[in-house]
Structure 1
Amino acid sequence: MKQKLFLLALIAFTACSKETVTPDSSVKGTLSIQFDNIAGDRNLQLGTGVYTNAAGEKFSVDILKYFVSNISVKNSSGETYTVPQDSSYFLISEEDGTSQFVKVHVPEGEYTSLTFVLGVDSLRSTMDISKRTGVLDPSGGMDEGMYWGWNSGYIFLKMEGTSDAAPIDASGQHKFRYHIGGFGGYNAVTFNNIKTITVDLTAAGTAKVVDVRVPNIHLMADILKVFNGTTNISLAEWSTIMVSDYSVNVANNYQKMFTHDHTEN
């Protein structure tokens, strides 16, 4: 009898804890976005994991960092809310687990799609340094290795590692280095590697934002797509890609690397 009463109490408690809360669009809640870096169907492990790209070349990753910015969400009514730009710049680093959870404040509601930019937009890239704080602080960016002081621009995505397929470099190692940036140029038109990414949330779970709980949109970022999103890239042929027209191929590839796994409401 006591066991039955306990089970009834537990069911009642669970029902209360999942009680439906009507969203109020005049109130803002917190939305979490998780960037879970993987390589195909495996979790990305810096330094120790060995993966194979589309060219059949084995490689390991030592560094993976990228900027996420200009976040917006669309609700079930088709209305779009754009997070204020000053609160919408984040640096995702595989070596820093906390950086992989981005938190923004949005009106309460049910959201069916998420849009963000991989990179730093041209307007912010050319603003006075006083307007570029936090992860965009050029001095901090230099420490993180995500700012080209000599080129006055941000590195949108940095991936470095080793592969026997890569030629031996000056240090005697088989290293590859992909430092991808470029916002279209300031004084002259150049390549533009800013990529806007929209993720549909309807299939794997919409995000239901209410003040009393924080939903988490769990995204997977597959770094294998850096090598074959739209163009197959060989480490033997392209072990170093930085400021060059060919970097556009890497940017077009990494635009394809994000998928929605699920949402925790």
Structure 2
Amino acid sequence: MDNQIKWTKIGLIALIVFAIVSCKKVESPEIDGNKMGDFSIEFDNLVGDYGLQFDNMARPYVNAKGEPFTISRIQYFISNIKVKKTDGSEYVVPQDPVEESYFLIFGDDRNSRFAKVKVPEGDYTQVSFILGVDSLRSTMGLDKRTGVLDPTAGDHETQGMYWGWNSGYIFFKLEGNSAVISDDQQGDPTGRKQFKYHIGGFGGYNAPTLNNLKTITIDLTKAGIAQVRNGYRSNVHLFVDLMKVFNGPNAFRIAEHPNVMFSEYSQNIANNFPTMFSHDHTENGVTSEDQL
């Protein structure tokens, strides 16, 4: 019996020691600001409390004005990514090469939802980016506007994001259908009544014009800072609530504004854009080869 008690005590001591060792905090490697790590922003499109579904006539979305609608297309540019460390220092992702600093998010292509860049190792509490294409890049020669910025990419009536007649990028394209649109509005071949919001305007080249560029700033401290380390990827997961296009600070009726493009009213819609983005969580320590 004494031996049994003895070995039981030894076993308990071993378990306690094992638990202490197992719970010991593992110190992360010292941050080397000269090393670069993989950083990405994930844009997860939603509509209010629901996932994004296209042309769901059986279950349309309903905005704050009580108007039912469906979505058939959503595309937008993300550029000029900047991150801020815990010490307040900032890093701006270089604009060149274009393919690594300008991104076009397609709602119907899940593979396009990541904006992947490289930033120095560090702990980041804030990320910001521009929704749109900045004025400097918009006025550069065609040899400086390649990849997703190629003005000839995509059919203008579908995936194209450039106004040939206006020599400017469409920063944000949202299209869909709603029964509230009056009969005199143009419908598609199926008889559905379309709305189209093509929002652009970088401020003008030779003279001031519409400026609908919006800088989006995301605080990462509440849902997880980004801990960027060489050899790993840190991914900031954002929700993009498309319902806020209609229900933001400048709420409007689809019936009254079914088609908005290069007009003064586009500024009202653009002012709703910053409210679309919210930080859900951050994934740190993901191996660079993994697919999120």
The TM-score normalised by the length of structure 2 is 0.83
Give me the whole-angstrom Cα distance separating, in 1, the residues matched to 2:92 and 2:51.
31
Give me the whole-angstrom Cα distance separating, in 2, the residues matched to 1:222 and 1:14.
39
TM-aligned CA distance change 1:231 to 1:253, over 3 Å: same
- From 21, 31, 38, the equivalent of 2:29 is 21
Q: Deviations over 1:123-154 (max 9, x none)?
A: 11111111001100111155631111111000
C-alpha deviation, 1:189, in angstroms: 1.2
Give me the whole-angstrom Cα distance separating, in 1, the residues matched to 2:114 and 2:253.
31
C-alpha deviation, 1:167, in angstroms: 2.4
| Unmatched tracts of structure 1, length 5 or more | 1-8
Partner of 1:219: 238
Contact 1:63/1:160 (CA < 8 Å) preserved in 2?
A: yes
Give me the whole-angstrom Cα distance separating, in 1, the residues matched to 2:60 and 2:24.
45
Matched, 1:59 2:69: yes
Contact 1:37/1:220 (CA < 8 Å) preserved in 2?
A: yes
Matched, 1:250 2:269: yes
Partner of 1:89: 102
Partner of 1:134: 147
Give me the whole-angstrom Cα distance separating, in 1, the residues matched to 2:30 and 2:50.
38
- From 65, 69, 78, the equivalent of 2:88 is 78
Contact 1:142/1:149 (CA < 8 Å) preserved in 2?
A: no
Partner of 2:208: 189
Contact 1:182/1:190 (CA < 8 Å) preserved in 2?
A: yes
Give me the whole-angstrom Cα distance separating, in 1, the residues matched to 2:130 and 2:137.
13
Give me the whole-angstrom Cα distance separating, in 2, the residues matched to 1:170 and 1:164.
11
C-alpha deviation, 1:166, in angstroms: 1.8
Q: Tell me the secondary structure at the aligned position of residue 138 of structure 1.
A: coil
Contact 1:141/1:147 (CA < 8 Å) preserved in 2?
A: no
TM-aligned CA distance change 1:137 to 1:197, over 3 Å: same
Matched, 1:40 2:48: yes
C-alpha deviation, 1:251, in angstroms: 0.4
C-alpha deviation, 1:228, in angstroms: 2.1
Larger Rg: 2
Give me the whole-angstrom Cα distance separating, in 1, the residues matched to 2:154 and 2:92.
25
Matched, 1:119 2:132: yes
Give me the whole-angstrom Cα distance separating, in 2, the residues matched to 1:58 and 1:254.
20
Matched, 1:155 2:170: yes
Write the mapping of 1:100-119 to structure 2, written as runs, cut at 5 A.
Answer: 100-119=113-132
- Output the amino acid matched with 1:67: F
- Output the amino acid matched with 1:135: V
C-alpha deviation, 1:21, in angstroms: 2.9
Contact 1:142/1:148 (CA < 8 Å) preserved in 2?
A: no
C-alpha deviation, 1:155, in angstroms: 0.3
TM-aligned CA distance change 1:14 to 1:64, over 3 Å: farther
Q: Tell me the secondary structure at the aligned position of residue 140 of structure 1.
A: coil
- Output the amino acid matched with 1:50: P
Give me the whole-angstrom Cα distance separating, in 2, the residues matched to 1:97 and 1:14.
38
C-alpha deviation, 1:88, in angstroms: 1.5
The TM-score normalised by the length of structure 1 is 0.91
Contact 2:177/2:195 (CA < 8 Å) preserved in 1?
A: yes
| Unmatched tracts of structure 2, length 5 or more | 1-17, 285-292
Which one is further off, 73-82 or 50-59?
A: 50-59
- From 167, 170, 175, the equivalent of 2:182 is 167
Q: Tell me the secondary structure at the aligned position of residue 124 of structure 1.
A: helix
Contact 2:152/2:160 (CA < 8 Å) preserved in 1?
A: no
C-alpha deviation, 1:230, in angstroms: 1.2
Contact 1:31/1:104 (CA < 8 Å) preserved in 2?
A: yes
Partner of 1:3: none
C-alpha deviation, 1:57, in angstroms: 0.6
Contact 1:135/1:141 (CA < 8 Å) preserved in 2?
A: no
Q: Across the two proteins, how many residue pairs are aligned to each other? A: 256
How large is the Cα RMSD of the aligned pairs? 2.1
